[in-house]
Structure 1
Amino acid sequence: MGKHLVLVGGGHAHLTTLQNLKKLTGRGHRVTLVSSSPFHDYSGMGPGLLSGQYSLHELRFNIFRMAVNGGAEFIEASATRLDPDKKELHLSNGSALAYDVISFNTGSHVTLEIPKSALGQTVFPVKPIANLFHAREKILSHKKTPGERLTLLVVGGGPAGCEIVGNLQELIKKENIQADIVVAAGSQLLDKQSQAFRNRTRLLLAQEPLQLLEGVRVTTLGKNEAKLDDGRHIEFDYAFIASGITASAPVPADGLIVNSFLQSPKFPELFGGGDCISFEKQPLDKVGVYAVRQNPILYHNLLASLENRKFKAFIPQKNYLLILNLGLNRAIALRNKMIWSGGFVKLLKSFIDRKFVKKFQLG
């Protein structure tokens, strides 16, 4: 007799499972996909939405159609609470789902509190990715008074923040927008990377006007003002939040603890992938490459759990390829302490990203 598999979220780590739903349902299993949106957008191409390098449909997966075409049920709702002892998932629509096996790929969100009146109007977290498309539309349609210069604030100096900065630089240059870009980078730009990588990235971004603030953090955001921890205030027209991410509910803020099989040690029917998990022995960087590589392993282990078969272990790369899209034909790559930059690196990143998206997009 088949079992009930519940997938919470249609992110990168669930794509192989969604692509193989017919195999699951064809073997007598029931599958339900729960997501707050019928679409999932590929984060690796997200910053290119700002500069106009990509359109939204180029990086979008229709997970609703993937579910329906594969014989699964799709529920457009958010997960609000998990009761692992009763094997029940509670949803924002008031219902509860019983499951035999459940997997979370709900991603992450920024922790900085954003006023409701500002969200999607003047303040844009980098996730969900579609925010970057809407931010571009807002900037392009902004009605300026004569002589006005926009102030674009980027909060966070990690890889995501750097990509946002570079693609904003491309946007204002290509569209001839008079604007100043200010980066509140936290302790320093790319503080988890080597000095050589930081310096090269800084030089690339400095090819265009940029005000970089290091050693300060944004503590409070208003609709058009940010307060720094040194007491200063920054007035802005639009702000982008690329700092301080945490796992999305109902997963604990520090992530769902999993073993090498992407499985909860405490509740063996509970699995997860991507930003919402944390390995019990070694937490990993919150980068998309891990979710992409967990993708086929998670599918194998979910099927194995449903049918009492042998699991596969996920072994993370110690030295993964990191490529930052910095806009304006600029990109920088890092692997095994080797650094490359230039237009050919941007072409390589685009090729890798498009290949991944094409694999899972419906025709």
Structure 2
Amino acid sequence: MSIALFAADVRADETGSEASPDTALRLVYEAPSECVDALGVRARVLSLVRTPPEKWKSPVEVRIRIERHDHLYIGRLGVVQLDPLDHPAAERELRATACLSVVDALTVSAAIAVDDALAEAERAAITSSSSPPGEEPVAAPAPESSTPAPAPASAHAKISVRPPPVRPSKTSRIGPMELRVGDSIALRRGIVPEPVWMQSAWLSAARRNSWYPMLRAELAYGASGIARTGVGAYRARLLEGGLAACTPLRDGVLSILAVCTGVNGGTLMSSSFEVIRSADRVRPWFAAFAAPRIALPLLEGIAFVVEGRIAVPFMRERLRFHPGVTVYEAPPAVAQVGVGLEVRLPPSRL
């Protein structure tokens, strides 16, 4: 978000006259209900300003807006000196995980900006009172020189003596490292004739508002029911781990919707209970997958996750009974759908 400069449409009725304590500071304050109220913010700003309100030459308007975005509080400050030119004295944007931290920082910034605005107004009043109305002070003649004299500055340039504010770089908007852990239960079809119920846990890491992908590691275990055929029965168990890269973690839609792609690898253990003989088999299992997911916020830091998955195994499973009778051949793709919970860990300072 860009820095917002708040401008006021009101003017002081008599510029140069002293302002009363009640009208010296005009506060426009918008914040969530869990933040400090407007009276507390006003008292805090007035207590930090060095110049008493009775000595202010013109009112000063302070606008503070605090918005909540997921786990961050974003505060914007605008300060306007209510003189005939409405000089902007300060503009700020601050972010923190606690609203109280944002309020404290903005009140200190507002007090400093008010002091700067009052000092500038005092200098302008002294300059205007030292010269008769309609006349400019006459400067001493400069010695003759071969170089041409610089062109006189305009009236606007004389007043705007403050340098332009420094805009924060784009890197400052990148949030801290976020770690999330989750657990889900899913139904997977396509490995063996019966569906496999999978229990999985994962850990993901990403920087919010960065365009780098979110990295995710997962571990899962599943088992199928007993698939019965005319020549015997069959059961499978699967233990696998996986690595994936997901779409970047950003504010807005990308904080809810994501797509992950990666690979899984593990061990597929199967047992056949045949009419003629029983057999156990263990073989490696590898697959590449794509998984769209939706994370719906429930409470602060807790989300309900719905995830689908399409996986393509590197080797298709074939169910054969003695003496080489093929009972089942897995399809080229495996489908899975699951639900679970995801918890965001406290922000890291990495």
Could you say which TM-score interval applies, normalised by the shorter chain?
A: under 0.3
What is the TM-score with the length of structure 2 in the denominator?
0.18
- Provide the TM-score with structure 1 as the length reference: 0.17
Which structure has the highest helix share of the two?
1
Larger Rg: 2
Identify the structure with bigger relative contact order (alpha carbons < 8 Å, sequence gap 6+). 1
